[in-house]
């Protein structure tokens, strides 16, 4: 599985185009301007990709700015965890709280839960429910290539924010990291919602929040 990362909008939110054998999924349409949306479209066209699924790690406003654009381009809705639904329904309120504007995405009709899978090309992504930063946080895991797109759960040297946001739980977040992500293995590449890609091994040994959680 090839992962093409992009970083968009004033919150510097990552968007990932994952592809294999000419088929692709788009994870987190964080593109805010038309130019940012076109940047993703250009890569889709350049590789001649069929876009199979539109996916969200969670529905915080910084991850959904470009959802409408891609829904219209590809005639499909984003798939997300069921707990994303109220966040999407309140997208305007989320935007106002952060002083930005958003075109609300459609409410998802296909909901993803722990253990579900998403397929494209020869890839099957496994869904892990990794709440704490938000109740709807899910991670997309590809075990054969040792890669996971995890949203705002684990960052290089940091973890997802659990203050000043609704329905967060630091305890739940740390449990998601120690019980769901760390067992993936040290060699796993982690594509986070913000900042550079990292690995489980790096964060297990160097991330102070992870170190504290595992009692090192
Ligand atoms: Zn978030
Ligand atoms: Zn974010």
Q: Residue 176 is part of a domain; what is its CATH number?
A: 3.60.15.10
CA distances, 14 to each of 4, 35, 114, 149, 168 (Å): 10, 15, 23, 10, 21
Look up the pTM and report it.
0.98
**Nearest-angstrom CA–CA distance, 116 and 139:** 11
How deeply is 11 buried, as exposed, middle or buried, from its count of CB atoms within 10 A (0-12, 13-18, 19+)? middle
Nearest-ligand number for the alpha carbon of 15: 2
Q: Which of 122, 133, 121 is nearest to 173 (CA)?
A: 133
Q: For 36-93, what is each residue's pLDDT tens digit?
A: 999 999 999 999 999 999 999 999 999 999 999 999 999 999 999 999 999 999 999 9
Nearest-ligand number for the alpha carbon of 60: 1
Q: Is the pLDDT of residue 211 over 90?
A: yes
Q: Which residues surround ligand 1, an ion (CB under 5 A)?
A: 60, 152
Ligand 1 center from residue 28 Cα (angstroms): 11
Ligand 1 center from residue 193 Cα (angstroms): 8
Ligand 1 center from residue 21 Cα (angstroms): 30
Q: Note down the domain range covering 170.
A: 2-213
Q: Which stretches within the chain are classed as H helix?
A: 34-46, 67-74, 84-89, 91-97, 170-175, 200-206, 208-213
- Report the chain's terminal Cα–Cα distance, integer Å: 34
Q: Which of 193, 4, 13 is nearest to 102 (CA)?
A: 13
195-202 mean pLDDT? 98
**Nearest-angstrom CA–CA distance, 27 and 78:** 9
Q: Is the pLDDT of residue 216 over 90?
A: no
Q: Output the average pLDDT for the chain.
A: 97
Predicted confidence band of residue 107 (pLDDT cuts 50, 70, 90): very high
86-105 mean pLDDT? 96
Q: For 9-46, what is each residue's pLDDT tens digit?
A: 999 999 999 999 999 999 999 999 999 999 999 999 99
Task: Count how many domains the chain has.
Answer: 1
Are 99 and 126 in contact by the 8 Å Cβ rule? The answer is no
């Amino acid at each position: 599985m090839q992962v093409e990362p992009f970083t968009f909008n004033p919150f510097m939110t990552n968007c990932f185009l994952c592809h294999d054998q000419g088929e692709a999924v788009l994870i987190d349409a964080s593109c805010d301007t038309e130019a940012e949306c076109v940047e993703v479209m250009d890569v889709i066209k350049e590789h001649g990709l069929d876009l199979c699924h539109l996916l969200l790690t969670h529905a915080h406003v910084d991850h959904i700015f470009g959802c409408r654009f891609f829904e219209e381009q590809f005639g499909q809705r984003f798939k997300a965890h069921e707990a994303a639904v109220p966040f999407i329904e309140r997208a305007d309120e989320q935007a106002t709280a952060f002083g930005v504007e958003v075109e609300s995405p459609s409410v998802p009709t296909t909901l993803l839960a722990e253990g579900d899978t998403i397929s494209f090309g020869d890839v099957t992504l496994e869904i892990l429910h990794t709440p704490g930063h938000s109740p709807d946080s899910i991670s997309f895991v590809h075990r054969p290539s040792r890669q996971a797109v995890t949203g705002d759960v684990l960052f290089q040297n940091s973890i997802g924010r659990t203050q000043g946001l609704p329905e967060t739980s630091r305890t739940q977040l740390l449990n998601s990291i120690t019980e769901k992500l760390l067992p993936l293995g040290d060699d796993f590449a982690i594509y986070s919602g913000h900042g550079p890609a990292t690995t489980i091994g790096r964060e297990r040994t160097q991330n102070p929040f992870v170190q504290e959680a595992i009692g090192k």
